[in-house]
Amino acid sequence: MSRTISISEARARLPELARYLRRSPQRVVFIKHRDMEERLALVTEGRLRYLEALVAAAEQGADRAFKLAGSMSSTLTDDELEQALIGVKQDQTTRSSSKADEF
């Protein structure tokens, strides 16, 4: 859940905003400023550390290249595996189309 307020309102209500964030650390308060295109985000220190840890873990995972070869085994021949993958792709396309039609 998030809120958006002006920078002057944030300045006037800073203690209240601190209590608001302390009660629910997953919340974020966006602060808009007329001279800035992008809003600022006010979060707790714990929430910021959590988000930084997620980014670091994602970056470490991106550094490791995934290798399919040797990661699994199958009794299918190459042609049978190729046909099975084509079938899965067709099923997914059909499901995606039907979900889009529902909207």
pTM: 0.55
| Per-residue model confidence as pLDDT tens digits over 54-63 | 998 888 876 6
| Per-residue model confidence as pLDDT tens digits over 23-63 | 998 999 999 999 999 999 999 999 999 999 999 888 887 66
What mean pLDDT value characterizes the chain?
86
Pairwise CA distance, residues 93 & 81, whole Å: 18
Beta strands in 1-103, from DSSP E residues, in sequence order: 2-6, 28-32, 40-42
Tokens of 51: 């988000």
Q: Which of 4, 9, 2 is nearest to 25 (CA)?
A: 2
Gyration radius from the chain CA atoms:
24
